[in-house]
Amino acid sequence: MSEFLNLLAAGLTSGAIYGIFGACLAVWFRVCNVLNLAVGDFAMLGAIGTAYLAQTDHFPFLAAIVVDLLAVGAVAWIFDRLVLHFAFDRGSGGHGIVSVFFYTFGLSLILEGGARAIFGTDVYGAPAIWSGPALAIADFHVQRAGVLVIALAIISGLALWAYLRFTVSGRAASACGESVLGSRIVGIDSALFRRRMLIVTAVLAALFGVVESPLTGFTYQSGPTISLIGVVAAGFAAFRKPGRAVAAGLVIGVAEAMLGGYVSTSYNDVLLYAVLFGIIILRPEVLGLSPETA
């Protein structure tokens, strides 16, 4: 029983990591139909930047987090103004499949190169926000950072879900992804929604990087792996439903942990993609896809 509970704790922790990055990807894709392949790099900047400020520049920890999150938000804003604005709002390159991933893939490479130049190749981990020994209930042990990761993922997923489902602003954000022209007709500024949502998800990813880094550590190369994990979790949520992405991430994490614990870790990736393909082919409506469009 204790093995099961500890696998469950490990699975929920890694699943929360899948889920939150999937949620960040899904909510921005919903607004502007662009995959944010730099979401993992924003997390990397959050983790490494905070660790660097706190440990090398001796900033107070809270101040390091605030400064770093502001810097990440500024990077997202600058990227939108310098690249996405011209690509999408001026009609210079906002059409076609290339725009779905090309610009953010380029941003990912730039952030990775910049991080290497500034922070070097060391492994960084921000100080733990909630330090202390692992929490234990009988034979069930979970790291405090893991509890924070799971809590932040669930709270963020619920907040994004509630925003999109219940607020006028959330419905307007969804309308931007459905029809840019249709949204502009009623006075919705689709560029503003794209920019705001990019900044919010970049800062959220960075905050998650800070919370997660005591568990996993970060290098300048951590971003693409995280982004790929996020793409898979977002895929389980049809790239549009952040709440479902968090739920899907948690389920995937637990399934992976159980499979790894009771069978073999070799089958983790196989399981992940087999389930995704199976759903797309057999039950596309589960992902919000109609059989015709799946």
Amino acid identity at 110: I
Of 54 and 197, nearer to another protein (C-beta) is 197
Quote the least distance from Cβ 180 to another protein, whole Å.
9
Q: Which residues bind another protein (CB under 8 A)?
A: 166-172, 174-175, 178-179, 181-189, 240
Radius of gyration of the chain (CA): 19
| Cα(182)–Cα(125) distance, integer angstroms | 45
Q: How far is the CB of 186 from another protein (least distance, A)?
A: 5
CB of 197 to another protein, least distance (A): 16
Which residue's CB is nearer to another protein, number 138 or number 181?
181
- Alpha carbon dihedral 68, 150, 157, 251, in 10-degree steps, equals 130
CB of 23 to another protein, least distance (A): 18
Interacting residues of 280 by C-beta distance below 8 A, sequence separation 6+: 287, 289, 294
Output the smallest distance, CB 175 to another protein, in A.
5
Burial of 288 (0-12, 13-18, 19+ CB in 10 A): middle
For residue 188, give the 3-state DSSP assignment: coil
Nearer to another protein, 155 or 162 (CB): 162
> With respect to another protein, which residue has the nearer C-beta, 56 or 179?
179
Distance between CA atoms of 48 and 148, rounded to whole angstroms? 18
Q: At what angle do helices 222-235 and 242-262 cross, to 10 degrees?
A: 110
Say how far apart CA 245 and CA 28 lie, in whole Å: 13
Residue-wise DSSP of 32-66: HS---TTHHHHHHHHHHHHHHHHHTS---HHHHHH
Nearer to another protein, 56 or 167 (CB): 167
Q: How far is the CB of 79 from another protein (least distance, A)?
A: 23
How far apart, in whole angstroms, are the C-alpha atoms of residue 108 and residue 36? Answer: 9
Q: Which helix (H) or strand (E) holds 140?
A: strand 140-142
- CB nearer to another protein: give 118 or 192: 192
**Residue 123 or 185 having the CB closest to another protein:** 185
Shortest reach from residue 182's CB to another protein, in Å: 4
The smaller minimum CB distance to another protein, of residues 166 and 262, is found at: 166
Return the structure tokens found at 91. Answer: 């009609």
In the complex, the smallest distance separating the C-beta of residue 288 from another protein, rounded to whole angstroms, is: 8
